[in-house]
Structure 1
């Protein structure tokens, strides 16, 4: 780099010598060299010291020629002596002397120049002209760049991530990070198969863990090609606690043992294409439709809620999953969302079918592994405003054929199957500082907590399930918010079934305080009471207190 700059300065100095009266062609203009220096200075190729030094040398070389032209002007009848005076003044102002770079100035030790106190106005005018020339040069250089060669930064909006525009491509990076101290105290009882309470564990537990959300880093690339809005999304969701291999992968209960490592949940990998006129197609892995609005409007999404396995925490807590709604899940899909017309939008898609799963254990539920047809889901939303009241209403459905059901009462030769189906409806209302959410779902073969968890009994008959939650929030100030919610999930026995240890009801009450410390950082304090009851006499409950932070950018 240093040798390159020396070569550049040598070239410019050579140009200065060539510009002297002895070697310069008479047709050359005196300010061409100054313009060149301005351009190099604007581009950062010359330091201020190098710029001033080279400019001074150029002025000294040019002075004799100015005197000669001034004399010639007098001989032709010009103003007597004015040229000589101007030339002499220039020489006087640019007298060089050796300096030592005293503290406070902008020059390195070396050559310094006397500005000439008697002509500071002319020097200021010259500096202004040079600055204007440099600005013009920089503007012309910017105009010469093509759009694809420029990277710009969009205006930052809190919570919307950082967006860079590289030519025709928008690059958005958004995400969140959280951590909570969580103390869980079991209130006693007997274990309930398929319950979400830890009341029967018998031991208090402390954990430093994630809440319902792990951390998340979402990269989105979007552009417009041939009239279509096209995007690609990759969402990575790591936890902070040690991961443990199991049926739920990164969401399996953790492993609090030395030398462990955190789990990474790649929930989102998908592309979208379309526009506001024809709608949008999506292909890849993303949040499913049924139950999606229930979890996205759940206040415990930003906190802990039901803690689940707090003694060995995994990537996430439960929040209100299984105590008010069934988890929507992140599922491979091909879906289509219509344009929004007068507040209405419809979405429908085919999804990777999921197995019936014996979550309760003990051979209480049937399972399946075969699928000849995809799962189908759909959703309709309606957004509207009446006065100061903003409202969203949504409804969604799910249907899937479960084939080859197996249990202790069913074998592979029975070829027993079932059609699992479910529907939900919900609303969110906002009025000033008040927010309210109400949600209800019902299913047959749907199960509870997770999709198709304990949805079919041992005898191959479907179990009905339903649940709901209500939630209220009040913004005391722009930064302080209070939240309270109550939710229930019920699972009924299949016809002809008698399973007294199977969960009948999971429920929880949540109270939380959220304080927005900055645009990014939120402080959270929360209390949750969770209980589970079986179809027989078994019951258990627990209490959880949590406090921590969640950062969203």
Structure 2
């Protein structure tokens, strides 16, 4: 459950972000100005994992894939969640309106295989304010995007590792990013969310547009990106159900002229948590020009500027016994080869990524309200078009979170 202060302020926008995920966390609250109604709070976590990974060698002449080369590795690093220190401010109600704001700093701890590493990546993921009233709320600033946001938030590896990805970088692990969903990212935008209507909520917004990139890049953007999400949550039988559908569309033009390109997609999912401790999640997405792992600006387009088709899904089952959760999940992300990709493969032998899949077995235990430990085993596999083999990897991780 989220903290009392979060229940009062409703500052957790989608991930509130990871703080929606930072369940069972005590939160420090400072009242500013005595009885004038202003409130200031802060929250966060520091986490660290030991990760041991043994990948196969990457096949020759392949493009894409997020498993590191045949480098057996031992790393001490953050997991899928970075560390975070965030500030929250909430106003009193004036003329039926309440304001709130959040700014979050998200650093990582690893040295990236360099002893004299004098700085780790710091990600300013959140900087937004929100105005609430009987009409719903309006959020302005940088927060988790709507499209595929809940696909990420319902992933059990949020408190673990999932797929490690690059072993020498300064970022987080991947979880199931590229292995069940595409990373929604934290983006600048303006969004409106309706009040709760018998469990239904609708959010829609405009977002700062991105270039759409791949083998070539469409970099000119004269219209914002549009995203929306419809969700429904309610008790059902001896449990609680949550369902959602989200969508996104954005166009971009090539600086050299010619046709514009458009990225678009639909995502959705359903989760059901039973009072007896069982929990199930099934989510997925389909679209074009989305990219295989990072949305829009990595491998969305082929060499002639055609959007690649993408789809993927995640299936997950968990069982909670007291303060301990055991989970098993499978996810995959698939990219369709275009005609230009086929011609490149036949002429040069270069093969595009076709499928990224993984299986994760995880054990997560709340020692108390501020200490969580986690252990995971992850098997991941990358496959490319044509013949020439695949690449797989086995990884073990053990770590802990300090939460406040």
Q: Determine if the TM-score, normalized by the shorter chain, exceeds 0.5.
A: yes
Aligned-pair CA distance for 1:438: 0.3
Q: Residue 213 of structure 2: SS of its match in structure 1? A: coil
Query: Cα distance 1:255–1:332, how it changes in 2: closer, same or farther (>3 A)?
Result: farther
CA distance in 2: counterparts of 1:189 and 1:155, whole angstroms: 45
For residue 266 of structure 1, what is the aligned residue in structure 2?
A: 124
Among candidates 161, 173, 190, match of residue 317 of structure 1:
173
Higher helix proportion: 1
Offset at residue 413 of structure 1 (A):
3.4
Unaligned runs of 5+ in 2: 8-22, 346-350
The alignment covers a number of residue pairs equal to: 372
Residues 147-546 of structure 1 mapped to structure 2, 5 A cutoff: 158-159=24-25, 161-166=27-32, 167=34, 168-190=37-59, 192-198=62-68, 201-223=69-91, 224-242=93-111, 254=112, 256-275=114-133, 277-310=134-167, 312-358=168-214, 365-404=215-254, 412-432=255-275, 433-452=277-296, 453-475=298-320, 477-498=321-342, 499-500=344-345, 501-538=351-388, 539-546=390-397
Name segments (4+ residues, structure 1) moved above 6 Å. 153-157
CA RMSD in angstroms, aligned pairs only: 1.9
Larger relative contact order (C-alpha < 8 A, sep ≥ 6)?
2
CA contact (8 A) 2:204 2:227 kept: yes
CA offset at residue 203 of structure 1? 2.2
CA distance in 1, matches of 2:278, 2:364: 14
Q: Which runs of 5+ in 1 are unaligned?
A: 1-152, 243-253, 359-364, 405-411
Matched, 1:547 2:398: yes
Q: What's 1:150 paired with?
A: none
Residues 158 and 301 of structure 1: CA distance in aligned 2, closer, same or farther (over 3 Å): closer
Give the Cα–Cα distance (whole angstroms) in 1 for the partners of residues 115 and 314 of structure 2: 36
3-state SS of paired residue (1:241): coil
- Which has a greater percent of strand? 2
Give the superposition deviation at 1:218. 1.5
Partner Cα separation in structure 2 for residue 182 and residue 529 of structure 1? 13
> Deviations for 1:402-450, whole angstroms, at most 9, x for unmatched residues?
211xxxxxxx434231121100110110012001100010011112111
**Whole-angstrom distance in 2 between the partners of 1:437 and 1:297:** 7
- After TM superposition, give the deviation of residue 481 of structure 1 in Å: 1.2
CA distance in 1, matches of 2:357, 2:278: 24
Larger Rg: 1
Q: 1:160 offset after TM fit, Å?
A: 5.2
In 2, Cα distance between equivalents of 1:384 and 1:186: 43
Q: Which residue number corresponds to residue 33 of structure 1?
A: none
SS of alignment partner, residue 524 of structure 1: strand
Shift of 1:387: 2.4
**Distance in 2 separating the partners of 1:551 and 1:438:** 29
Q: Structure 1's 436 and 259: CA in aligned 2 closer, same or farther, altered over 3 A? A: closer
Distance 1:506 1:486, change over 3 A: same
